[in-house]
Structures are given as structure tokens and as C-alpha cells.
Copies of this chain bind each other. A is one copy, B any other.
Amino acid sequence: MVKSPLAPATFPELPDIAGITLATAPAAIKYSGRDDLLLVVFSEQTTASGVFTQSLTASAPVMVCRDNLKTPVARALLVNSGNANAFTGKTGDKHCARSQQLVAGLVGCDPKDVFLASTGVIGELLPMEKFEEAVPGLNRNLGSANWRKAANAIMTTDTFSKGASVTTNIGGRDVIINGIAKGSGMIAPDMATMLAFCFTDAKLPSKLLQQLLEEANHTSFNAITVDSDTSTSDTCMLFATGKAENNECVCIDEPALQDFRAALNGLMLNLAIQVVRDGEGASKLIQVNVTGAQSDKSARIIANAIANSPLVKTAIAGEDANWGRVVMAVGKSGQCADRDSLQIKMGGVLITQNGEVVKDYDEQLVAQHLKQQEIIVDVDVGVGSGEFTVWTCDLTHGYISINADYRS
């Protein structure tokens, strides 16, 4: 698989986080010659939070995680790539229970404190014999893997591994947040998209952790789309080991928490945009800013209508300033918009105003912008003050090539 032209130059430095040890191993679940299993072991009193796919055909591991969060303590996380354990019926549920048992036995914890995530092919049973063989080895290797190896082990059709780190503080005490993610196709908002795991040494009660995660998720993983298709496995989790021993926070609005809150939002947006940068076949990263909508929610629906439109995405792939397709997408969103005050900019150049094309707008300038890798589309629908930003990529021959023969 050729690396996406939009990939960051390098994988960033991710420091160790007190209370977290990592191991990876090759289990040959689908891929050979690479690690495809990741085990993360947490120190006691680690709190957990998560958001998951809204799909009604959610995978077995997603249902396990949802259930585990009723008592949000985490001691381990096991992730495999190559098989989603989705639509595998009761057998899939049993396979999850066995995986939890295997890990719990090694770590010495309650199976309910073991979280699971799987992505890859839908509908095939997990090859449990490979888990039985590889998991004990993982435990022996604990501490041998770094974050980059962890990010590598969870990839499927990804062309580069995705990570981010930030050091911030809570009430003056330094805390670290690390994050890794995977995802390239079957990416659409309205859920935590594909797999993303964030880890911090901050001390945060699980209820607050969940609030922080949901807030950051709304404008990061829930603000990206590659192909409008929603995975059965989407999982985004945040774990906090508490080893930084910051003063206890309770409320999301307290001043001591604001640096952390902003840092988490930034880190998750960074990871989410990395997923779009690895969008299947992507040659351009597209930022769609919608303003002037009736509400933020309405702005989000309009932004998604634009970002998911195959005609808008192919036009940008062809470096064609076909803003008529943006008009079409606004129209099909069904949201309130004033045709006669609709404003569209590409690369900052005002193209339409008062429901008509701007006479003599600088087409050359727009054409130049469209030749870049990062495209900005601004749309003001002229009816209110709602706004939302969505990131997506273009739709190219690469997407068709990748998806017309992924399973075979």
C-alpha cells in the first residue's frame, strides 16, 4: 500500500505514561509479517471513558466495552487488527468473553476490567486459537513496545500509523496525554470513528473523564468523514491512570481543568485529521466551514452534506472550482438556508454572493488554491449564527481501486 500523499512527515514522539505498559505481537489473524495484536496494561485505579458507534449492528467488542463502562475501571485493553468480530452472533460474544478471561488471567484482574477492540473484515469468526497462542506471549513482552509500535499494530488499510502527544497541566501539575488512532475507510461522523485510544496520567474521575471525551469527540472524530459509511466497530476511549497525582477535579468548568480540556480537544482533532489524511485514495484534505446557519446542529448537517457529496469530492479531486455542486449540496441538506444570500468561498476567494456568482471573481486564484493539498471551502447560508466545521478528503480513482477488491 502506497503511503498517502497527505501523511505527516514523521510519527511524533510519544513519551511514556506512568501506569501504562505496552506490548505488541504478530498473531497472523489476517496480516502476516507484522504485529496485529496490542495489549495495554493499566495500573490499578485507572479510570476509563468511551464513545462508540451508533450502528445497530455494532461489533461484539463494542458491546463488551459499553457494558464494562458501567463500572469504569480499566486494567487492560486488547486490540486486534484484521478481523472486526462484527456480525458473528453469539459465537462472537463468547470469543470476547474468552479473550477477556485470557488477559485477566495474565494481568490478575477481573475480566470486566479488560476492554476489547477489533477492526477488519466483518462477519468472519475470530481465529481464537491464534489468540490462545499469542496472548500469553504478549504478557511476557510487556513493556517492550513503544507507542509507535502500538499504533502500527492496530492498522488495517491505513497507510501510516497515527499518534499525537501533548503535555499540559491540571492546577499547575504537569500531565501528559498520548493518543493513537487507526482508520482510513468506512469513516463517517455521528459516532467515534474507527479506533482511537487516548491515555493520560492525569487523575480524573470517570464521570468527568467521560464528559471531557464526549466534548472533544464532538468536534474531532464526529467532525470527519471519508465516505459517509459508518463502521460497526467505531470506538474512541480515554484512560486516565492518575499517576500525575494532580488535585482532584470534579466539574468540567473549573479553572484548573481548562488547559487540559483545550489540550485534549486539540489532540483529538489532530488524530481525527490524521484519519482523514489517510482517507482511502485521498489526494486532498478538505476543510468545510459552515456559518450563518439556524443552529450549530443545522450547520453540521449542511457541512456533512457538502463533505459527503460525491460530486463535490470528485470536483475537488479534479481541481475544478465547480461551486455549483456546493450549492446543490446545501440545497439537498434540507436545512434552512437563504438562497438569495448564500455566500461561498474557496481558498478565501468570494465566489458567490446574494444568490449569484460574483462577476469577475478571480478564477485563477481559486484554480491555484485547488492545486494545493489542503482545500478550504467556506459557506455562509445567511439565516443565523450556527456554525460547524467538518474535515473530509476528495474522492479519487484510488478509493475505487482500494474498495473494489478489499476482501478478495
Specify which of B229, B331, B337 is in contact with A309 (CB 8 Å cutoff): B229
Interface residues of A in 174-217 (CB under 8 A from B): 185-186, 188
Given the contacts A87-B356, A228-B310, A356-B88, A328 and B122 also touching, CB distance less than 8 Å: yes
Identity of the chain B residue whose Cβ is nearest the Cβ of A403 in the assembled complex: B314
A160-179 interface mask toward B, CB cutoff 8 Å, 1 = contact, 0 = none?
Answer: 00000000000000000000
- Residues in chain B near residue A401, CB distance under 8 A: 397
- Residues in chain B near residue A403, CB distance under 8 A: 310-311, 314-315, 318
Contact assessment for A356 and B91 in the assembled complex, using a CB-CB cutoff below 8 Å: yes
Assembly CA distance A65 to B221 (angstroms): 43
Contact assessment for B408 and A56 in the assembled complex, using a CB-CB cutoff below 8 Å: no
Given the contacts A55-B332, A228-B310, A332-B230, A327 and B404 also touching, CB distance less than 8 Å: no
Contact assessment for B57 and A342 in the assembled complex, using a CB-CB cutoff below 8 Å: yes
Assembly CA distance A209 to B195 (angstroms): 53
Identity of the chain B residue whose Cβ is nearest the Cβ of A59 in the assembled complex: B331
Q: How many residues of A contact B (CB 8 A)?
A: 70
Assembly CA distance A330 to B230 (angstroms): 10
* A154 part of interface (Cβ distance < 8 Å): no
Assembly CA distance A401 to B397 (angstroms): 8
* A355 part of interface (Cβ distance < 8 Å): yes
Q: Can you name 30 A-B pairs with beta carbons within 8 Å?
A: A55-B328, A56-B330, A56-B331, A56-B334, A56-B339, A57-B331, A57-B337, A86-B324, A87-B355, A88-B356, A89-B356, A122-B327, A122-B328, A123-B323, A227-B310, A228-B308, A228-B310, A229-B310, A229-B311, A229-B329, A232-B331, A310-B399, A310-B403, A311-B403, A314-B400, A315-B404, A315-B407, A324-B407, A397-B400, A399-B400
Those 7 A-B pairs whose CB atoms lie nearest each other, nearest first: A122-B324, A318-B404, A57-B331, A55-B331, A230-B332, A314-B403, A89-B356
